[in-house]
Amino acid sequence: MPARHPQIGPPAAQHSSTSPAERDPLGAAPADGCPAPGTCDHGNPPDLDRYDAVLFDWDGTLVNSHPLNFRGLSRACADWGLTMDESFYTSKIGTSGAELISELSAATGTHVPIDEVVAQCLDLILDEIAELQTYRPVVQLAETLHGRVPLAIASGGARRAVHAGLDATGLRPLFADVITGEDVPRGKPDPGLFLLASARLAVAPARCLVYEDSTEGVQAAKTAGMDVVDVRCFRT
């Protein structure tokens, strides 16, 4: 009986004898910073027919939103007397804006109205949303899977930002559902986002595959009992 879902790449066992360009059906070789060289499947799970749903993170996975997010967050923080260094922001990728602001506020002893800072940050991000760029290899993978297996977004980002980004990039039709940070009480690495996404799709967690770009996101997917692919090795 043929597999229910398409095989988008060769089995992982072939990787040691196949060049990156040959083994990547998306046409992009894994980046030098692959987190698991020699063992990573570079976005091509060997048994895709095992899965009944595929979940995608948004920021840093499907889109290169971090430049927009950092500019919005740092400018909003500055208006309230907080300095958001890019190194601090980068080290916390995968953490929600509210959690970042709260942590920065506590570390500096500067009290700020977190909800107001987040709202201001969001407005600044939306002002630039037309500039949002996609990670084409990951988008192409989603396009390959669309119509063959249900796809959903499971993002810790703000609902308005994610939905505006989906519209700006034209990616909305690919996804059966969109789960964002407002839909769960805690962000990644808590598994709630992924568990909610699997519940909405009526698919058991063990039958879900996740694409992620952050350590927190990978941890959340694993805690949810899902297989996960780290896109950092092939998304550029």
pLDDT in tens, 51-106: 999 999 999 999 999 999 999 999 999 999 999 888 888 887 767 788 889 998 99
Tell me, what's the pLDDT at 54? Answer: 96
The region that residue 94 occupies, defined by phi over 0 for left and psi between -120 and 50 for alpha, beta otherwise, is left
d(CA 199, CA 41): 27
Q: Is the pLDDT of residue 29 over 90?
A: no
Instruction: Please identify which residue in the block is written with the tokens 């800072």.
Output: 117
The amino acid occupying position 222 is: K
Tell me, what's the pLDDT at 1? Answer: 31
d(CA 59, CA 231): 12
Which of the 8 DSSP states describes residue 129?
G
Of 90-99, 152-161, 172-181, the one with minimum mean pLDDT is 90-99
Q: pTM of the predicted model, to two decimals?
A: 0.80
Q: Which comes out higher in pLDDT, residue 219 or 1?
A: 219
Tell me, what's the pLDDT at 19? Answer: 35
Cis preceding-peptide flag for 205 (omega within 30 of 0): no
Tokens coding 151: 């796809």
Q: What share of the chain is helix, strand, coil (3-state, %, to 5)?
A: 50, 10, 40
Please, are residues 96 and 121 in contact by the beta-carbon 8 Å criterion?
Answer: no
Average pLDDT of 13-24?
A: 33
Tell me, what's the pLDDT at 59? Answer: 94
Could you tell me how far CA 2 lies from the centroid of its own chain? 30
Q: Is the pLDDT of residue 107 over 90?
A: no
Cα dihedral 136→160→215→62 (10° resolution)? -10
Which of the 8 DSSP states describes residue 37?
T
Of 7-16, 71-80, 213-222, the one with minimum mean pLDDT is 7-16
Select, from the ranges 38-47, 71-80, 142-151, 166-175, the one with the highest average predicted confidence (pLDDT).
Answer: 166-175
Tell me, what's the pLDDT at 5? Answer: 33
